[in-house]
Amino acid sequence: MSLSALSPLDGRYAEETSPLRAVFSEGALIYYRIHVELVYLSQLLPFLNVPLPADFAEVLQEIHATPGLIQAVKEKEKTTRHDVKAVEYVLSDCFIQAGHPEWVKWVHWGLTSEDVNNLAWGCMLQAAHEEVFVPLWLNLLEHLRDFIFATKATPMLAHTHGQPASPTTIGKEYAVFGKRILDELKHQATLVPVGGKQNGATGNWHVFERFYPQLNWQAFSERFVNTLGLNWEPITTQIVVRESHARYFDSLRRLSSILIDASRDTWFYVSLGYFNLKRRDANEVGSSTMPHKVNPVNFENAEGNLEMASVLLDFLSNKLTKSRMQRDLSDSTVQRNLGVALGHVLLGIQSFVRGLNQLEPRLEYLEAELNQHWEVLAEPLQHALRLEDREVPYDQLRRATQGQQLTQAGFENLIAELNISMPTTTPATYIGRAPQLAQQTAEEIDAYLNSLLLNPVPDRIK
């Protein structure tokens, strides 16, 4: 961890965010630019029927694996003052050193910088999705599934408008969050891969059509972009159409909102005394002055990071879908913050899972609280009176219970006054189908996880 890091993602949280550095660091961007240039060359020359040696593919692989290649590009950029041109020059030098100077003229042939950059960023986003976030979300679902199973029948007083309401179970309330996350992840799977383009300076294949008009350049571009694991965008300006990126960012923002909601509810449940928080280790300190405290910091950290991510993702979604005329560069510096936005999502998910593993339901406390709120049984009592055709039973019960907190004795006195029998005996048993709903959701999550084991996410980016 660097104590001089400007961003906490590379300072305090460097270890937690390390998985994203492989796909969103400056080095990763250079790596994927090189990757795009070499894949392009590997398809362009055969397409043009340029004579090639038998070891053509091996030469390209060896150049890609050249030690210090990324650093060489960064050094070259100091003189070119242009990041993509630096890649072109360094690769040209590599081909000369490899004994193939005749290929230099084809490096970056017909391309604009954005042809390389949009594909590099697309590959990076795709790699982050498949290599970092899919496993992260599945791990979260696994923990939620287990928590829902374990607490599916644990009764809990519910709260609507912050006031005591018809009881539920812990598992059912977390099943709501589990189902929301599951449905959004299923939707998100339809949003990838994101789009990519390769069509020159203003999207019209000028150079390609000028020198090789007889060739089908649109078909070539589609195959090339698809080879990189991206969807082909057939009609663009100089920059790629980024609605596919925006849809993915919006999905991540919705998932972040769901976890913010879950973090806040859990924070309130902890403050109400519904959970003990298990200490992470014997030396953990909860407060600098109050020795007794174990704070819900993981849920607070999750909330804060996910709120930060939501703001950034919303901004990226709006900003990156706009460009002045055929091209302006205001998106370029903004795009470099993709890793920042996703880094906060990553921290939020990690914090939520850690917090979830700390939760220990306080069964005796939950039961005792339910026994202090027998007034919640006014709901079924009202309906029992309705079935006996009593006159305005709702108003009758409202006068007897509104704003009141009834014990068992007080509620039994009310039943006696009304001279009616009750189908529900205690608040703890008035939980409807909560256990079954929790069970159904846990099973749905389990089936989804098992289906992915049989059909793993494809590893498109190598």
SS3 label, residue 268: helix
SS3 label, residue 4: coil
**Burial state string for 85-121 with b = 16 or more CB within 10 A and e = fewer than 16:** ebbbbbbbebbeeeeeeebbebbbebbbbbbbbbbbb
> How big, in percent rounded to 5, are the helix, strand and coil portions of the chain?
65, 5, 30
* Element (DSSP H or E) covering residue 159: strand 155-160
Distant-in-sequence contacts of 247-251, Cβ < 8 A, 24+ apart: 247/191, 248/125, 248/129, 248/188, 248/191, 248/192, 248/194, 249/313, 249/314, 249/316, 249/317, 249/341, 250/313, 250/317, 251/184, 251/187, 251/188, 251/191
Name, in order, each residue with C-beta under 8 angstroms of 193's C-beta and a sequence gap of 6 or more. 122, 126, 229, 230, 231, 460
Give the residue ranges of DSSP H helices in 320-392: 330-335, 338-358, 363-371, 378-387
The span from the CA of 95 to the CA of 391, in Å, is 93
- The catalytic residue positions are 161, 287
Q: Residue with structure tokens 């374990």?
A: 150
The span from the CA of 57 to the CA of 50, in Å, is 14
Ramachandran sector of residue 25 (left: φ over 0; alpha: ψ -120 to 50; beta: rest): beta
Name, in order, each residue with C-beta under 8 angstroms of 82's C-beta and a sequence gap of 6 or more. 113
- Supply 145's token pair: 């599934």
Cβ(224)–Cβ(40) under 8 Å? yes
Note the maximum CA span of the chain: 101
The span from the CA of 280 to the CA of 358, in Å, is 8
Cβ(180)–Cβ(258) under 8 Å? yes
